[in-house]
Amino acid sequence: MKKEILQGSSKTMGIEDLSVREFLDQTASSAPVPGGGSIAAVTAASAAALIEMVINLTIDKKGYEEVQGRMISMKSQLPSLRKLYLQAADADAAAFSSLMETLRRPKEEKGRAEAVQAAFKEAAEVPLTLGQDIFPLLTMARQVVEHGNIWAVTDGVIAAMNARAAMRAAFYSVRVNLQSINDGAYVYRTLSIISDFESRADGQERLIESLYKKRR
């Protein structure tokens, strides 16, 4: 199985079709994708899976009848979120590969500068969207840490830690691409979005840690 499956070839197999070992082997290789952005996305997917596990260990369990409704509601959202994050892992690899192809175009080629700028924006947009899409996991992690099965509360807080790490990683990927973008208004707007989500995520992280300590 070759890395070209992640680089825009005609093959349809993506990261979600790989075994864990295959994905890690490909990441460890000298090829540039999958890289940090894809790792962030897969980390987010693992956080979603952990949250869903805690929910499954809470639903229909004695003593948790009052929270069953909210647990079921959250559970209905998580499979699609996991799929979204895995798709983002492939999208990040594809965007980076496209950027590399654009940068290899002859510098004297007409329209190259504009194409390069567009490619950098696309490479920034994918992890920017991912970072924003991860935020709901922190809200769900807070719910399972506060109300979920006490025997799985540590899994809930680990999910929150992974979600937060994934969001940070995604936004780091955005920032590195912004360094090469000449559109000042776009850079300012993007950094403002990141700042807003980071601030709210930090608040959720502190709250989750506090709730965890109360229950343990």
- Domain extents in the chain: 35-215
Single out the residue of 156, 205, 186 nearest to residue 54, CA to CA.
156
Per-residue pLDDT band for 12 (boundaries 50, 70, 90) equals low
The CA distance from 28 to 193, in Å, is 31
Q: Give the CATH fold of the 35-215 domain.
A: Four Helix Bundle (Hemerythrin (Met), subunit A) (1.20.120)
How many Å separate Cα 49 from the centre of its chain?
13
Where does the pLDDT of residue 7 fall: very low under 50, low under 70, confident under 90, or very high at 90 and above? very low
Percentage with pLDDT > 90 across the chain: 90
Whole-number Å distance between alpha carbons of 112 and 157: 47
User: pLDDT tens-digit profile of 78-129?
Assistant: 999 999 999 999 999 999 999 999 999 999 999 999 999 999 999 999 999 9
Tell me the pTM: 0.91
